[in-house]
Structure 1
């Protein structure tokens, strides 16, 4: 419970059994709710904000596309092109200069360009040697910052600021307008292409795919507002979460040389050498079990989304014995869940990729209510497999060519944000790896 004058009614839990109860067993009784929708208004009626039939439709639509082999290969093509044309040349440039670089910023720019290409079919070129300020990217970052701000102050305060257009809410209004203009301009461009009958039978960006589905069905269900909301939610799912996972993975690998050695040994075992000439694709990376374990460990210790929330419709009693009143907001601390000794053992604070490997060398699958970073129950993340593919492809491309070394004296700290990033960036030096 919060202070009486704030009308804040929260119950915080890190118990996996409670997670299973709320997210699976009693799924229908726990929703995002009206307050969530208000705080995350920028998400519109997209999949993260929606409940009931709207959520079901969004999930069904995304699932029908994400499961396609063609979409998996389309994502592979986009990532590979971005690696070859942007990321590797920039890291080469940084390495040759011998300068310190904020690798988190590099990943942020990479993932923004990548998600723009996957969702909208355009490349804003955030990841360039001159590290430009790109308006749409800055607007997106500002929106996320304002959403976090709405979580930490009483609702009445930010509602008043929104009405008066002052402080963070003034920034929110400006940023939302700017980012919406960017998305709507892309929607109009795609509609114009379809009106002109420009044919392309290959799998393309998601915006075009949604429009084609609408055209094929001859039923107008995907108006501009629907497409805008779908695009924004996909940006949230595929941008900062990947940045966070990559940043903490490379930090942990850089500070655990033995893990780095084992990852490189696995790559050599699978591809014959770490001096890889062949183009690594989606099928190749699926065989890298140790790297998979390292990614899981990074996400366990530093979950990209550090907290999740639900709201009870009716009263309930949790397995832990706690009473939930109607309209109570449940906060799940994913950061705490990944560090519970009762769940992960006495070595819960250690970075051990082996934790995710079976005796036979396969991947250990922990239940989603225990490893909650990809959500659980009916709302389990649809893009989980695609996320692992992307992170593995990027990790291999970097680790095989470079050694990432933490800049002396730089101590990473946790950001205060809806996404768990490093507050002061991830300052590193890049050196060529000797083969």
Structure 2
């Protein structure tokens, strides 16, 4: 008899839980996905993880740009998810102070340390002021220009040319990964690991960096209790995260130590030589000139954050751009025509355009913007509310609530881009006078918006234009027939299976 009593109690509890979830469904905030008793909306999320960006985009369209994701009832995996531009404008600019990264974000992204991407308030302002002084320095821009030109001539073009002559297929995303890793290493650390070469060497630090990013994405999709347990037991993705961070941290600290020793030999010199314009050098010397000390942790955290900002985002932008151009021959023809009209005198030469030259390529700039609209390198932006308030969309926000902004869905919004939002159409960015149309950052949010707008936006466009023009002027990219194209599960929107192509020679 006692057993039947327990069964009745258990059934009653289940009924109450089920009723509780039914009532929640009829709240004033629409749910994004089908909600299950106890498990919340986690099952449909996991079932569609392989196509998560398209899944969320369609769900947001059905919910009028904003909806709620609720995780299992025993977790804190709850988010308000939005692609509404006015709500984004409100959070990113108008009421910027009420929306922070927050402690949960820093816990998930602990590999970033206290760098600019995870910091809030005064620490964020401090990081931003330091990096702003570097990125807006004309000497740093010239240093980056010479670095990219040298790397394109000595590594990128020889590899592309070798692949073309051999007639073999190559993963273009891997090529760009290696190119940008070498670039960011030299830009930040003053060290070139030479990842990009004909033999495609395996570089431990580059592999470790990739694995760390994959694990961070995993943390965002799992309840905190699960990945915390895995971290404590050192199993699964968390074990891989620990090993990857250990390897990459060792790489960073070795370079910081080496840089400090190297700079001892340059003390007393007022002018920096070209190799000593890397970020570590600038930061250390700047602190010394002010009579301040700059610790290794700050340098390590700054370096790690810039690796994410200046490496994978550029790789993502270049990879999706070349796929789009390769599958849209009319766009490619217009890009080639623009280069020919502007630089006909360089015909027949291996050209690597400089900063001032690429700024004249308006149609190329528009095509890059269009690629970034459709495939934003960072597909989600996460925020946490400090105080409760009402969003312009009419959705209430509660104190400490987490918000996910889908940049991917915003790039596919008919409200923002019109009925032809799904088309790759660079012309939408060009005015009748032939200039680039300014789209507010809260609508075109690939470089963030408001006070957190990316400091390296202009440098990113310059780097991509230099790489794209140097390849397209001499080579035609042909995507392998039947090669699957889908986004990877990572914090940066890369291609899951890479971009397998063949390369043909041509001249403008």
- TM-score under structure 2 normalisation? 0.84
| TM-superposed deviation, 1:275 | 3.4
* Deviation digits for residues 377-424 of structure 1 (CA, Å, limit 9, x no counterpart): 000000000000000000000000100001112131111111111111
Larger Rg: 2
Any unmatched runs of 5+ in structure 2?
1-69
Counterparts of 1:85 and 1:263, CA distance in 2: 24
Match of 2:403, SS state, is strand
| TM-superposed deviation, 1:276 | 4.3
- Show the 5 A alignment for 1:214-233: 214-220=287-293, 222-233=294-305
Match of 2:463 in 1: 390
- Say whether 1:109 aligns with 2:178: yes
| TM-superposed deviation, 1:223 | 0.5
Match of 1:3, SS state, is coil
C-alpha contact (below 8 Å) 1:31/1:313 kept by paired residues: yes
C-alpha contact (below 8 Å) 2:152/2:352 kept by paired residues: no
Counterparts of 1:418 and 1:275, CA distance in 2: 40
Match of 1:157 in 2: 226
Match of 1:275 in 2: 348
| TM-superposed deviation, 1:2 | 2.0
Counterparts of 1:293 and 1:189, CA distance in 2: 42
C-alpha contact (below 8 Å) 1:276/1:400 kept by paired residues: no
Match of 1:201 in 2: 272
Match of 1:261 in 2: 333
Match of 2:113 in 1: 44
Match among 316, 319, 322 for residue 250 of structure 1: 322
- Show the 5 A alignment for 1:64-103: 64-103=133-172
Going from structure 1 to structure 2, the CA distance change for 1:171 and 1:277 (only over 3 Å counts) comes to closer
C-alpha contact (below 8 Å) 2:352/2:470 kept by paired residues: no
Counterparts of 1:385 and 1:225, CA distance in 2: 28
Match among 368, 373, 377 for residue 441 of structure 2: 368
| TM-superposed deviation, 1:278 | 5.4
C-alpha contact (below 8 Å) 2:186/2:192 kept by paired residues: yes
- Say whether 1:301 aligns with 2:374: yes
C-alpha contact (below 8 Å) 2:313/2:378 kept by paired residues: yes
Match of 2:238, SS state, is helix
| TM-superposed deviation, 1:94 | 0.4
Match of 1:5, SS state, is coil
C-alpha contact (below 8 Å) 2:352/2:469 kept by paired residues: no
| TM-superposed deviation, 1:274 | 4.8
By relative contact order (CA 8 Å, sep 6+), the higher-ranking structure is: 1
| TM-superposed deviation, 1:277 | 5.2
Match of 2:243 in 1: 174
Match of 2:392 in 1: 319
| TM-superposed deviation, 1:9 | 2.4
Match of 2:252, SS state, is helix
Going from structure 1 to structure 2, the CA distance change for 1:369 and 1:274 (only over 3 Å counts) comes to farther
| TM-superposed deviation, 1:229 | 0.4
Q: CA RMSD in A?
A: 1.1
* Deviation digits for residues 113-143 of structure 1 (CA, Å, limit 9, x no counterpart): 0100100011111111111110000010010
C-alpha contact (below 8 Å) 1:264/1:274 kept by paired residues: no
| TM-superposed deviation, 1:279 | 4.5
Counterparts of 1:133 and 1:418, CA distance in 2: 23
C-alpha contact (below 8 Å) 1:98/1:430 kept by paired residues: yes
* Deviation digits for residues 204-223 of structure 1 (CA, Å, limit 9, x no counterpart): 10011100001100011x20
- Show the 5 A alignment for 1:324-403: 324-403=397-476
Going from structure 1 to structure 2, the CA distance change for 1:274 and 1:384 (only over 3 Å counts) comes to farther
- TM-score under structure 1 normalisation? 0.98
Counterparts of 2:503 and 2:477, CA distance in 1: 5
| TM-superposed deviation, 1:280 | 1.4
Match of 1:308, SS state, is strand
Counterparts of 2:186 and 2:260, CA distance in 1: 17
Counterparts of 2:223 and 2:348, CA distance in 1: 55
Any unmatched runs of 5+ in structure 1?
none
Match among 234, 253, 256 for residue 306 of structure 2: 234
Counterparts of 1:402 and 1:254, CA distance in 2: 11
